[in-house]
Chains A and B, each alone.
Chain A
Amino acid sequence: MKFGVIVFPGSNCDHDAYHVISKHVGQPVEFIWHKETDLSDFDAVIVPGGFSYGDYLRAGALAQFSPVMKAVKEFAAEGKFVFGICNGFQILCEAGLLPGALIRNKNLHFICKHVNLKVESNHTPYTSEIEQGQVLSIPIAHAEGNYVCDDETFHQLEENNQIIFRYCDESGEITDESNPNGARSNIAGICNQDRNVLGMMPHPERACEGLLGSNDGKNIFRSLTKAIAAHG
């Protein structure tokens, strides 16, 4: 089993992801420079957070043209696991691997805080070890996390059970007050139809150590590890 963490110019959560996979998940992991075109050594690829290409043009827009992204698309088409976190989620949307887009937060602020996330589905390789409806405490850190999509896409997401995480209050209620960025229907994370590609704005890699205030992210990586073992 091997994880890869893609590094674009401007990625800055790549080391956090690497640290969590190597130290807390205990699996082999390698950085993948964005000019790489062969991912055949890997079972799962993490597209990490940060500011790829300085967020020029739109967040994630220029990273979609990096050579590695063609390989990531093929990798995803083979049913292998692609996990986009924060800027990684933005990149996967820009690249068309996930539907919709992420625009400027409704209140314009860069928001950095712990939020409550409701696990809407555990029928994914990323949430299988978590109980449906469970509330996770995981931090967000973004200015463009406001998820938008047209009505048709939204209905497809709902019908196919592709909305995996929603912002909620402490008791798991989906409320306007608990929506930090104006995202449609409090959407914090979605998967593709085949459920092997997942993108989320919150940072589970920053919630794997009690010292950092939460361990709740660990179960996401634990689920993924189990899925890779079953897949391989």
Chain B
Amino acid sequence: MNRLTIIGLVIIAVLVFVALFAPWIAPYDVGATNLAMRYLPPSSEHWFGTDSTGRDIFSRVVYGARISLQVGIVVVVVSAFIGTILGAIAGYYGGWVDRVVSGYVFNVFLAFPGLLLAIAMVAFLGAGLNKLILALCIIGWVGYARLIRGQVLKVREYDFVQAARALGASDRRILLLHILPNAIQPLIVQASLGMAGAVLSEAALSFLGLGVPPPAPSWGTMIEEARDLSTLQAAPHALIFPGIAIALTVLAFNFIGDGLREYLDPRQRAR
């Protein structure tokens, strides 16, 4: 395995640990404001300093990992699940499902800027964690469906599938036991890159004020609060630490995705 993939895995392992044990790791209450303690620079008491209302930035970044991972995991699992089912049905059976999914959905949804669609949906539905997740799933499943459909079309023609059919296996058995296991590898790569995308989209929407509403410590919300000029002047660390958290998370998932792709595709490994 490549070095960058290992770095990515380590970062994600730390992130998951931090998210799981946030109440034990965070030294302060995430919501506790104290105007006497505002704009403090990083110190041994406040590792990442404090923000414009005196909240401990380290604690907020730690709890922010929960929101990011939660959104990422739910969005990726739900989109991958829906995408796999519809993609597999479209690829295996063809028919009207295929005509709707690959003829209409692929062409239309992939011709459309995903973030804009998410912004539009959240703008009309109202901000909030669940609506944000819903919006990201609606734009997210299409990529998985296209991937799985392509895989199914390819694997369907393999000899062992023909053999299984000749032995009288049912369509469902062929699909679940013979085709899908062979289509799952690229799905894992896509899911890893999808985690990066979902974390980024959550932060972007929260930054625009369309995600998790303010007191919650989303990294995007923290950046939005820190970019106010007087805060920027007094406490640039309020911007830098959540910024590093987002960048490291996105980078780590991209490293893992790229690494897995190379690992699974020997043609690329040779380079």
Whether chain B is bound by chain A comes out as: no
Using a CB–CB cutoff of 8 Å, the interface residues on chain A facing chain B are none
Chain B residues within 8 Å of A, Cβ to Cβ: none
